Structure formats: structure tokens, C-alpha cells
């Protein structure tokens, strides 16, 4: 399966002009890339415009509502994203969890996204690490509650992003995670998921996110036990983001 590099632009940039430039510059810089899938998860208001610029990069949303349609002022549905040509959606990001998102809602959103034909990018990850390794159980519980009732053969359609909150660039007093942190959790996530699968079911892709930059991307890709990366801040710079994509491309056999 292809490796995947996903940009999460979060609530940036502040105008469609800048969004278009960032997108077009990124497209240009990765023009030779063939083996790596590239996705940009942009604010809703830019998605239709970006779709018209290039199909080289797939598009993703950063959230959907937990109900399919109806009187929910201000919300955006999975079908709306799908019907404008969006393929992916980030769900359960820690920045949304900090605003009140919980596993039960994320579970509803995953099922709705799958039904609509979107690929959910499910974010899991602990706030902090403790000496007793309780963070493994924390992530296991997130996985179990968020994936509860999801059909076995749909699990492979989901991308699981391990994003330790303590390593994300927006976290106060953050510290770096390393490829070892990523690898041990990727193994644990695979084991947790494989306990839910039959032999014939495929594994979902597992990716790492948390302050990935053009200097450490190679280590995460080669030694982090993951199938790709979820990139926040560095994705707002076309040069840095494209370097990360190219590092991933070069690591493919």
C-alpha cells in the first residue's frame, strides 16, 4: 500500500488567495512524486476552490457533524464534503477534543463518514506519558470507543493517526516525540486492531503526527513503524511540506 502524507492546515491561511497559492506551490514542488499519496485537509471554505486547481493532491476536511442531515445551524455534513469531491476527513483531532469532542461523537462521525464514502483519519493520542505506561490503555480505550460497531471489513478503510498531544506544536511546554515513541505505539495500535480483525481483513494504515518537520521526517518514516505522516505547522510552508513528501517518496522501495 502507498505511503501517505497528510497536511492539516488547521484554521489557516486567512484568505482564499493565500490558500490557493500555498496549494499551487505545493502541487508544483511535488510534481515528480508518484509513489506517495498526498492529501491536504483545508478549512471547509477553501475546499471547492482548491479542487479546481489540481487533482494531484487529494482533499480532506477537518471535521463533520455527527448526524447526516437536518436542522443543525452552522454544521457541515459528510455528504456535503463528499459531493464537492472531498475524499478524506480528520476526526477526533485533539484540538477538537479540547473543545468538547468525545469518543462517542467520534464513533458516530466515523460511521457517517464511511457511509458517505469518505476516508476517516481517526486521531488518537495521550495528553501525557506516565511511568506506569497508562497511556497505552488510554489509546486502547480511544480506539475501542471510537471504533465500536464499525464493520470489520470497513476498518481497513480508516487511517489511524497517532498524535501524542504532548508533541503537537500548539501544546504549551511541548516536547519532541521520537521514532521510538511512534514505533512502540504503532505496534500497540496494530495489535489492538488485529484483535478485532479476521485473518482475511486488511490492516488500516497507521500514521504519526506531532511537530513533524523536514529534519525528522526521515527518521519517523524509516524507523517510526508508520505508513505515513500527519503534518500541521510545516504544511503551511510549501517548501517544507514538499520536502517531507519527497523524503517519504525516497524511502519507498
Residue positions annotated with a catalytic role: 93, 163
Q: Which of 120, 164, 210, 224 binds ligand 13P (CB under 6 A)?
A: 210
126 binds ligand 13P (CB under 6 A): no
Interface region with ligand 13P, contact rule CB under 6 A, candidates 53-61, 75-83, 231-239, 242-250: 231-239
243 binds ligand 13P (CB under 6 A): no
The interface mask with ligand 13P, positions 67-106, x = CB under 6 A, is --------------------------x-------------
Total chain residues near ligand 13P (CB under 6 A)? 13
228 binds ligand 13P (CB under 6 A): no
212 binds ligand 13P (CB under 6 A): yes
Q: What is the DSSP string of the chain?
A: --EEEEEE--S--SSHHHHHHHHHHHHHHTTT--SEEEEEE--HHHHHHHHHH-SSSEEEES---SSSSSS-TT---HHHHHHTT--EEEES-HHHHTTT--HHHHHHHHHHHHHHT-EEEEEE--SS--TT-HHHHHHHHHHHHHHTT--GGGGGG-EEEE--GGGSTTSTT-----HHHHHHHHHHHHHHHHTTS-TTSPPPEEEEESS--TTTHHHHHHHS--SEEEESGGGGSHHHHHHHHHHHHHH--
Least separation in angstroms between CB 96 and ligand 13P: 10
Q: Which residues bind ligand 13P (CB under 6 A)?
A: 8, 93, 163, 168-169, 209-212, 230-233
Amino acid at each position: 500500500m502507498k505511503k501517505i502524507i497528510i497536511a492539516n492546515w488547521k484554521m489557516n491561511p486567512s484568505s482564499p488567495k493565500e490558500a490557493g497559492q500555498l496549494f499551487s506551490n505545493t502541487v508544483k514542488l511535488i510534481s515528480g512524486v508518484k509513489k506517495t499519496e498526498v492529501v491536504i485537509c483545508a478549512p471547509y471554505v477553501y475546499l471547492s476552490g482548491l479542487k479546481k486547481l489540481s487533482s494531484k493532491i487529494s482533499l480532506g476536511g477537518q471535521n463533520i457533524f455527527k448526524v447526516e442531515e437536518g436542522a443543525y445551524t452552522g454544521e457541515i455534513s459528510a455528504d456535503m464534503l463528499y459531493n464537492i469531491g472531498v475524499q478524506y476527513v480528520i476526526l477526533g483531532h485533539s484540538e477538537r477534543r479540547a473543545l468538547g469532542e468525545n469518543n462517542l461523537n467520534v464513533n458516530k462521525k466515523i460511521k457517517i463518514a464511511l457511509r458517505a464514502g469518505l476516508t476517516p483519519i481517526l486521531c488518537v493520542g495521550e495528553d501525557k506519558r506516565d511511568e506506569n505506561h497508562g497511556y497505552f490503555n488510554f489509546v486502547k480505550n480511544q480506539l475501542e470507543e471510537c471504533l465500536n460497531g464499525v464493520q470489520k471489513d470497513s476498518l481497513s478503510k480508516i487511517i489511524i493517526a497517532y498524535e501524542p498531544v504532548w508533541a503537537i506544536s500548539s501544546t504549551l511546554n511541548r516536547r519532541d516525540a521520537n521514532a521510538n515513541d511512534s514505533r512502540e505505539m504503532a505496534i500497540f495500535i496494530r495489535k489492538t486492531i488485529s484483535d478485532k480483525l479476521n485473518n482475511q481483513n486488511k490492516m488500516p494504515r497507521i500514521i504519526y503526527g506531532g511537530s513533524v518537520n523536514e529534519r525528522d521526517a526521515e527518521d519517523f518514516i524509516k524507523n517510526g513503524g508508520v505508513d505515513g505522516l500527519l503534518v500541521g505547522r510545516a504544511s503551511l510552508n510549501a517548501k517544507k511540506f514538499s520536502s517531507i513528501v519527497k523524503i517519504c517518496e525516497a524511502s519507498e522501495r
